[in-house]
């Protein structure tokens, strides 16, 4: 990111909010220059502004970060998730792990169940590909003899799935629940492949 815009985001993160004049003073550039950078950041949905009126004087704008802007700062979710999973796996029985996989898949699928209602299998496969792409999996599907193949060209959970097979199992069960038919994993990123792929047999009746 351009240096001045990075400075603006950092200052807003530290302060919570700031006016044009405050940003200009902190960064050491003219208000005109800062305003131009603020326009770009607002266009990119990284900041938002609110007009504030005082008792006296002209109204001014107060700038804050959007929720989308939080992605511009370092995160370590995978480290926290890895530690939680390690602790869970050290105390949980096989049955308890299986139960958690099922619960995660069930609740995950429930979030998107409405998008699959009333659709035939091929429509559901297409919709699941869209859902998984929205979740960061870069998914695509194709029709093949006897069924459908769902390919995922990116694993959003790759930072933790390699050491925790329950993550992949939950994803498989999630996709199965969305489609309502048995799903078989053909390729898996943690197994050294550059993608995951799933096979959906079109001759198997709906499980619901």
Spell out the domain ranges in the chain.
3-72, 77-201
- Give the integer Cα–Cα distance in Å for 200 and 144: 10
Residue-wise pLDDT for 63-88, tens only, equals 999 999 988 888 788 888 989 999 99
Residue-wise pLDDT for 154-203, tens only, equals 988 888 888 898 999 999 999 999 999 999 998 776 554 557 899 998 87
Count of other CB atoms within 10 angstroms of residue 57: 7
- Give the integer Cα–Cα distance in Å for 117 and 136: 23
Note whether 51 and 61 are within 8 A (CB). yes
- Output the average pLDDT for the chain: 90
Q: Collect all residues with Cβ–Cβ distance below 8 Å to 136 and sequence separation of at least 6.
A: 154, 156
Confidence of residue 99 (pLDDT cuts 50, 70, 90): very high
Note whether 147 and 200 are within 8 A (CB). yes
- Give the integer Cα–Cα distance in Å for 170 and 109: 10
Do 3-72 and 77-201 have matching folds?
no
Residue-wise pLDDT for 134-154, tens only, equals 999 999 999 999 899 999 999
* Alpha carbon 135 to its chain's center: 5
Fold of 77-201: Muramoyl-pentapeptide Carboxypeptidase; domain 2 (3.30.1380)
For domain 3-72, the CATH architecture is: Orthogonal Bundle (1.10)
């Amino acid at each position: 990111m351009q240096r001045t815009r990075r400075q603006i985001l950092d200052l807003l993160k530290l302060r919570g909010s700031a006016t044009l004049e405050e940003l200009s003073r902190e960064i050491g550039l003219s208000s005109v220059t800062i305003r131009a950078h603020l326009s770009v950041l607002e266009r990119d949905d990284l900041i938002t502004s609110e007009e504030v009126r005082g008792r006296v004087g002209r109204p001014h704008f107060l700038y804050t970060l959007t929720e989308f802007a939080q992605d511009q700062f370092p995160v370590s979710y995978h480290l926290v998730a890895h530690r939680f999973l390690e602790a869970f796996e050290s105390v949980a029985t096989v049955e308890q792990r299986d139960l958690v996989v099922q619960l995660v898949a069930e609740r995950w699928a429930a979030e998107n169940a409405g998008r699959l209602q009333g659709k035939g299998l091929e429509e559901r496969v297409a919709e699941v590909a869209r859902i998984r792409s929205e979740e960061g999996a870069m998914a695509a599907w194709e029709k093949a003899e006897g069924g459908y193949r769902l390919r995922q060209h990116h694993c959003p959970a790759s930072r933790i799935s390699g050491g925790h097979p329950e993550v992949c199992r939950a994803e498989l069960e999630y996709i199965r629940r969305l489609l309502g038919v048995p799903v078989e994993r053909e390729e898996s990123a943690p197994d050294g492949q550059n993608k995951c792929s799933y096979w959906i047999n079109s001759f198997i009746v709906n499980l619901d």
